[in-house]
């Protein structure tokens, strides 16, 4: 009878211990699954953040390009509306300014011709009074006795 009692206590203890171990194992599995889900969510969040950073960088670089385009369009409009009829636009050249990389200004050389030197000077003066341009400088060349040519350097504000 004692052996049966000890055996019954052993079986009951073994059953109770296995039940507790099984419960603890389920808790560990649950915590492990929760941790895995959270790690996956963190990876997804990291990918979203990297995607947003890339979009921001692209938008920022596109913004700089758009600002340049807008400034060039403003320059062209300024020239269109201020150039006198007797002044002929020969060329507009972009000049890269590498002296200040961070504060890069857009510089252009506008070459015009006219038989009337005063018209070229008036055009230069109108560009100086522009709200779009700054640092307007001009050099003149006499091509022949009739035609004068002006090379006007400008910076876009």
In a 3-state reduction of DSSP, which class is residue 132? coil
Tens digits of per-residue pLDDT, 40-99? 999 999 999 999 999 999 888 888 888 888 889 989 998 999 999 999 999 999 887 655
At residue 144, does pLDDT exceed 80? no
Q: DSSP string covering 55-124, please? A: HHHHHHHHHHHHHHHHHHHHHHHHHHHHS-TT-EEEEEEEE---S-STTPPPEEEEEEEES-HHHHHHHH
CA 82 – CA 77 distance, rounded (Å): 8
pLDDT for 62: 87
At residue 7, does pLDDT exceed 70? yes
CA 131 – CA 77 distance, rounded (Å): 12
pLDDT for 104: 66
Domain ranges of the chain: 1-82, 84-156
pLDDT for 156: 87
141, 149 contact by CB (below 8 A) = yes
Query: What is the rounded average pLDDT of the residues 21-35?
Result: 96
Q: What is the pTM of this model?
A: 0.60
pLDDT for 103: 56
Higher pLDDT, 30 or 65: 30
Tens digits of per-residue pLDDT, 83-140? 999 999 999 998 876 555 555 678 999 999 999 889 999 999 999 998 888 889 988 8
């Amino acid at each position: 009878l004692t052996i049966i009692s000890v055996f019954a206590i052993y079986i009951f203890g073994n059953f109770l211990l296995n039940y507790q171990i099984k419960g603890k194992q389920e808790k560990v599995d649950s915590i492990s699954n929760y941790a895995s889900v959270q790690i996956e969510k963190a990876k997804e969040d990291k990918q979203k953040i990297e995607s947003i950073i890339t979009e921001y960088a692209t938008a920022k670089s596109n913004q700089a390009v758009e600002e340049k385009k807008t400034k060039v369009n403003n320059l062209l409009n300024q020239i269109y509306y201020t150039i006198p009829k007797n002044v002929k636009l020969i060329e507009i050249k972009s000049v890269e300014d590498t002296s200040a990389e961070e504060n890069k200004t857009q510089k252009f050389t506008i070459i015009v011709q006219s038989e009337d030197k005063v018209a070229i000077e008036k055009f230069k003066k109108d560009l100086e009074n522009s709200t779009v341009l700054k640092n307007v400088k001009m050099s003149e060349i006499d091509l022949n006795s009739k035609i004068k040519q002006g090379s006007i350097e400008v910076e876009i504000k």
